């Protein structure tokens, strides 16, 4: 997704004007950076809300059907809040209620996978990523620095456990499929014969050779899934030679 250069320039100009208004220009770089992120977050929350309202307007529902099969009645535009990567975001969208079972529904939420009052999919992913790495309380502290708003430990736990549950379900499916001969045969047909994998490692060491220091490269190749180690190849770094600088990433090596 790319914005037009003109649009980015126009937005940057407005941003600088606002930064000057709030006096950000005279601060140190860290304060400027955090201040800019705060402004961007505020803009993001506002823009997301406006975008959702626009999408709701575009959706022309002829008739909305309830899960029970009955047609739903349009009620009014109802306000909702979601916790997105920009913090709490509000928007108004069309709301329908079933005349029979009285269940309510907003078609926009269904179309975009939104649950009013809940964490969005974009934020849930970030919470779960932090939640699997450290304790939920610590994750919430980390996330506050990254996101610039506080998410409760419980929310981090809930989203992390939800992703954990999805992973468990997926693994259970893999286990089940691994026992089905027809599925295994089908997979083999689709995947075909896969080439083997070769793992390699490269290291360098400076050593005195014939009165000068030269870098030796140690290369080790290991075929994937086997314990056998191929004969080690050793090569001297000759580019520049002598007592010059050691090799760095991107140097051409003479093997
Ligand atoms: Zn119904």
More confident position, 194 or 209: 209
Average pLDDT score over the chain: 84
**6-27 tens-digit pLDDT:** 999 999 999 999 888 888 867 7
- pLDDT band (50, 70, 90) for residue 225: low
Domain ranges for the chain: 5-57+66-118, 198-236
d(CA 76, CA 96): 8
pLDDT for the residue 202: 82
How far does the centroid of ligand 1 lie from the alpha carbon of residue 76, in Å?
A: 18
**185-205 tens-digit pLDDT:** 888 888 876 777 788 888 878
How far does the centroid of ligand 1 lie from the alpha carbon of residue 7, in Å?
A: 45
How far does the centroid of ligand 1 lie from the alpha carbon of residue 104, in Å?
A: 9
Beta carbons of 53 and 93 less than 8 angstroms apart: yes
Q: Give the alpha-carbon dihedral of 236, 239, 243, 247, to 10 degrees.
A: -80
How far does the centroid of ligand 1 lie from the alpha carbon of residue 72, in Å?
A: 7
How far does the centroid of ligand 1 lie from the alpha carbon of residue 58, in Å?
A: 25
**123-178 tens-digit pLDDT:** 999 999 999 999 999 999 999 999 999 999 999 999 999 999 999 999 999 999 98
How far does the centroid of ligand 1 lie from the alpha carbon of residue 77, in Å?
A: 19
Q: Which pTM was predicted?
A: 0.68
**82-137 tens-digit pLDDT:** 999 999 999 999 999 998 898 999 999 999 999 999 999 999 999 999 999 999 99
pLDDT for the residue 83: 97
DSSP the chain: ----HHHHHHHHHHHHHHHHHTTGGGS-HHHHHHHHHHHHHHHHHHHHHHHHHHHHHH---S--B-TTSPBEEEEEEEEEEEEETTEEEEEEEEEEEETTT--EE-HHHHHHT--TTSB-HHHHHHHHHHHHHS-HHHHHHHHHHHHSS---HHHHHHHHHHHHHHHHHHHHHHHHHHT-HHHHHHHHHHH-SPPP-EEEEEEEEEEEETTEEEEEEEEEEEETT----PPPEEEE--SS-TTSPPP-TT-----
How far does the centroid of ligand 1 lie from the alpha carbon of residue 66, in Å?
A: 5
- pLDDT band (50, 70, 90) for residue 222: confident
How far does the centroid of ligand 1 lie from the alpha carbon of residue 118, in Å?
A: 23
Give residue for tokens 């402004």: 39
How far does the centroid of ligand 1 lie from the alpha carbon of residue 105, in Å?
A: 10
How far does the centroid of ligand 1 lie from the alpha carbon of residue 121, in Å?
A: 27
d(CA 47, CA 91): 10
- Residue 42 pLDDT > 90, yes or no? yes
How far does the centroid of ligand 1 lie from the alpha carbon of residue 71, in Å?
A: 7
How far does the centroid of ligand 1 lie from the alpha carbon of residue 97, in Å?
A: 8
pLDDT for the residue 45: 97
């Amino acid at each position: 997704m790319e914005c037009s250069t003109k649009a980015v320039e126009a937005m940057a100009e407005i941003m600088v004007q606002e930064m000057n208004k709030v006096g950000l220009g005279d601060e140190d770089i860290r304060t400027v950076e955090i201040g800019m992120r705060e402004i961007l977050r505020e803009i993001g929350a506002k823009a997301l809300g406006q975008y959702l309202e626009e999408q709701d307007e575009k959706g022309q529902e002829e008739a909305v059907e309830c899960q029970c099969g009955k047609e739903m009645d349009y009620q009014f535009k109802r306000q909702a809040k979601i916790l997105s990567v920009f913090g709490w975001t509000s928007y108004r969208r069309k709301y329908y209620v079933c005349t029979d079972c009285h269940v309510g529904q907003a078609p926009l939420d269904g179309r975009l996978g939104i649950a009013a009052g809940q964490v969005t999919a974009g934020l849930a992913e970030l919470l779960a990523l932090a939640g699997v790495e450290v304790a939920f309380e610590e994750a919430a502290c980390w996330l506050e620095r990254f996101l610039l708003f506080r998410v409760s430990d419980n929310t981090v736990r809930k989203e992390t456990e939800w992703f954990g549950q999805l992973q468990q379900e997926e693994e259970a499916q893999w286990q089940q499929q691994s026992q089905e001969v027809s599925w295994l045969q089908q997979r083999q047909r689709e995947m075909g014969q896969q080439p083997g994998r070769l793992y390699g490692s490269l290291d360098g060491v400076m050593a005195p050779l014939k009165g000068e220091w030269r870098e030796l490269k140690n290369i080790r190749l290991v075929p994937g899934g086997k314990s056998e180690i191929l004969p080690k190849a050793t090569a001297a770094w000759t580019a520049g030679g002598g007592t010059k600088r050691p090799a760095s990433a991107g140097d051409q090596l003479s093997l």
